[in-house]
Amino acid sequence: MNVLLHGINILPEFQTYIQQLIQTLERQGIRVVITKSLHQSMGKGAKKNALPPLLNANEPVSGLDFVLSIGGDGTLLDTISLIGAHQTPILGINTGRMGFLATIAKEEIDLAIKDLLAGRYSLEDRSLVCLESNIPLFGGMNFGLNEFTIHKRDTSSMITVHTYIDGDYLNSYWADGLIVSTPTGSTGYSLSCGGPLISPLAKNFVITPVSPHNLNVRPIVVSDDSEISFKIEGRSEKFLVSLDSRSTPIDARVTLKVKKEKFVARLVKFHNYSFFDTLRQKLNWGYDMRN
């Protein structure tokens, strides 16, 4: 079995857990490789010659059986960019705060590895959003797990985003921006802008305006079989578009269309995991602030 470990800026207090994880995997006869970013983080608190080898730039990611993403949800999003269309199963180990995607706490690492090796898990396919444009954007990594966003670039006046569903005119949003969220991303930026929560396996996109000028404009849920296209207007010549945490400036001449990506992100889920339990815990549902 081949396992890749990926992490970004690991804090010193978590490095001991990662070293124990590596030792546990290697004792089971598992070949472990790590990414350059994790190697650099671990090099601050561990002897570099004691760490597993680096994943070479020309080494096929498709040869991996699992990827362990060590960090928060942002690290897991970065891991999905690394894996791309290979659809390698990803297990998220949480060293961050929210942990909607990276659900394994550091105290649960040993049990999680035992369950993984014993096959006591399932794979959950999460849909991705794909961006198409008339110029290359994001270095060819034109997909995201959480959302695609159009946003004004600076503190200038609001922008107008003319939006179409399968070629049919939907609305012109006067706003600071517009979000197209996947079900997975419904707990992220879209939620903070008033968007609804959606079960991760639903077949939908959510279109959520960011600070709209018209207060009667509300988020709308559409089928993820839809193709959503945009035309942008504004006083500024430049706008920002983003896929998850990656962003780039564009101008109004760039054509933009989003749809569901052909491949998916494949997440490892253990049998005691429940999305609804996670919602209650992370959002403090049912918690009485008076107590």
- Whether residue 195 is annotated as binding a ligand: the answer is no
Where helices occur in the chain by DSSP H, the ranges are 12-27, 36-42, 73-83, 109-118, 189-192, 275-282
Q: Which residues of 213-238 are buried (b: 16+ CB within 10 A; e: fewer)?
A: eeeeeebbbeebebebbbebebeeee
- Whether residue 144 is annotated as binding a ligand: the answer is no
Cα–Cα distance list, 29 to 53, 116, 159 (Å): 15, 14, 56
By annotation, the residues acting in catalysis are 73
- Whether residue 274 is annotated as binding a ligand: the answer is no
Contacts of 33 by beta carbon, 8 Å cutoff, 6+ apart: 2, 3, 4, 5, 52, 53, 54, 55, 59
- Please report the sign of the dihedral spanned by the C-alpha atoms of residue 265, residue 266, residue 268, residue 274: positive
- Three-state DSSP at 280 gives helix
Q: Which residue has the tokens 């993820």?
A: 224
- Whether residue 251 is annotated as binding a ligand: the answer is no
Euclidean distance between the first and the last CA atom of the chain, given in angstroms as a whole number: 49
- Whether residue 173 is annotated as binding a ligand: the answer is no
- Whether residue 74 is annotated as binding a ligand: the answer is yes
- Whether residue 155 is annotated as binding a ligand: the answer is no
- Whether residue 49 is annotated as binding a ligand: the answer is no
- Whether residue 190 is annotated as binding a ligand: the answer is yes
Bind-site residues for NAD(+): 73-74, 146-147, 176, 187-192
Bind-site residues: 73-74, 146-147, 176, 187-192
